[in-house]
Structure 1
Amino acid sequence: MDLEASMRKSVEATQRTFNTIRTGRANPSLLDRISVEYYGAETQLKALATLSTPDSQTIQIQPFDRGSLALIEKAISMSDLGITCNNDGKVIRINIPPLTEDRRKDLCKLAAKYAEEGKVALRNIRRDGIDKVKKQEKDGELSEDQSRDEQDKIQKLTDRFIAEVEKHLAEKEADILKV
């Protein structure tokens, strides 16, 4: 069933979005959304440099081309992450400060917003599937009972994936709130 594959992709996209939210620890996936203007083209940061975490509070960025160092630093400082870079001419180090209580609450709200967007995407996939089943019923390809059974299956599938998004949200909130 292609609905299940679509829903799985939607959940995975929501999970990737969660990974871009900061927690108390350094994590290279924080920088996944950062793109750098490199030779006139928007390029993902991870395509321009090696990202690593030498310790729990530091992200280290080692560019493949030293000429891109200033461009990477500018892209990070202009992002909405609110973090500053230390550039020593060879690598960029980002110190991840501990989160304040207010910032943790804001990040939990952001995670909830991303979860809601994921659930909306799942409900849109459900709507499309149910519309397709209703059209098949109207065209005489399915009986009324078969149509109802298919719609129930689609609803159960949607409920399962929404529960998965909720589980990922709870894990992310626990991660954010952990001091």
Structure 2
Amino acid sequence: MATVKEITTNIESKMHKSVDALKVDLASLRAGRATPALLEKVMVDYYGSPTPVNQVASVTVPEPRMIVIQPWEKNLLKDIEKAIMKSDLGLNPNSDGVCIRLNLPQLTEERRKDLVKVVHKKAEEFRVVVRNLRRDANDAIKKAEKAKEITEDESKKGVEQVQKLTDKIMKDIDSAAAAKEKEVMEI
């Protein structure tokens, strides 16, 4: 037996998690400045299993346009270089035998516009996720009403609560996307 409160609390938690996931996704997009989050999706073959770079090396940002990667094991240097070159970051690693330096070039206007499109696409993907969660919540509320677990008034209030929550989450998604767009367009 599900109550409206249980349904909305469950959906609210899932919606907040999707906003957090969007923020993590956007952080891994390359804007104008260096950030260790850029390397989160770069996987290195570490004893036969793909492992994120930040779990096999220390990743630091000594300058706004430079990332320094210092592997904990020297034999990983070449593997990390290969992984970075294979990634879609478009960066050339410079190795001195001890660490790898990644210099981030200034983004071109065309590349910035492409990144903005990617930001909008990711935001839309998460909007769809939130809309699907809203639909699931509304279906659960209607189902509970049909099964006579809740009253018609409770059902209407529940649907309204879910819509208010959805509106709030959509604003969060829009503001996260707008912030990333502003960051990407900064020169």
Shorter-normalised TM range: over 0.9
Q: Which moved more, 1:169-178 or 1:143-152?
A: 143-152
* Secondary structure of 1:22's aligned partner: coil
Name 1:132's counterpart in structure 2: 140
Show the counterpart of 1:71.
79
User: What are the equivalent positions in structure 2 for 1:42-61 lying under 5 Å apart?
Assistant: 42-61=50-69
State the alpha-carbon separation in 2 of the partners of residues 6 and 143 from structure 1: 25
- What do residues 143-173 of structure 1 show as CA deviations (whole Å, max 9, x unaligned)? 2221111011001101100100100111100
Instruction: Give the SS at the match of 2:88.
Output: coil
TM-superposed CA distance for 1:176, in Å, is 0.4
Determine the C-alpha separation between the residues in 1 that align with 2:139 and 2:81.
48
Tell me the SS of whatever aligns to 1:21.
Answer: coil
| 1:82 alignment counterpart | 90
Which TM-score applies when normalising by structure 2? 0.94
Whether 2:56 is the aligned partner of 1:10: answer no
TM-superposed deviation, 1:136: 0.1
Q: How far did residue 4 of structure 1 move?
A: 1.1
* Aligned residue in 2 for 1:157: 165
Equivalent position amino acid for 1:51 in 2: V
The equivalent position to 2:43 in structure 1, one of 35, 38, 53, is: 35
Residue number in structure 1 paired with 2:6: none
Is the aligned partner of 1:141 residue 2:149? Answer: yes
Equivalent of 1:119, from 117, 122, 127? 127
Identical-residue share of aligned pairs (%): 43
Quote the Cα distance in structure 1 between the aligned partners of 2:129 and 2:56. 31
Q: Cα RMSD (Å) of the superposition? A: 0.7
Give the residue type in structure 2 aligned to 1:135. K
**Aligned-partner SS, 1:51:** strand
> Counterparts of 2:132 and 2:77 in 1: how far apart (Å)?
42
| Mapped partners of 1:24, 1:105: distance in 2 | 13
Where 2:70 maps in the other structure, the secondary structure is: strand
Once the two structures are TM-superposed, the CA of residue 132 in structure 1 deviates from its matched residue by: 0.7
> Residue 173 in 1 paired to residue 181 in 2?
yes
Q: What is the distance in 1 between the residues matched to 2:137 and 2:52?
A: 34
Structure 1 spans left out of the alignment, 5+ residues: none
Q: Distance in 2 between matches of 1:67 and 1:9?
A: 37
CA distance in 2, matches of 1:152, 1:146: 10
Deviation at 1:88, TM superposition (A): 0.6
For 1:62 and 1:127, the matched residues in 2 are separated by 47
Q: Distance in 2 between matches of 1:64 and 1:128?
A: 46
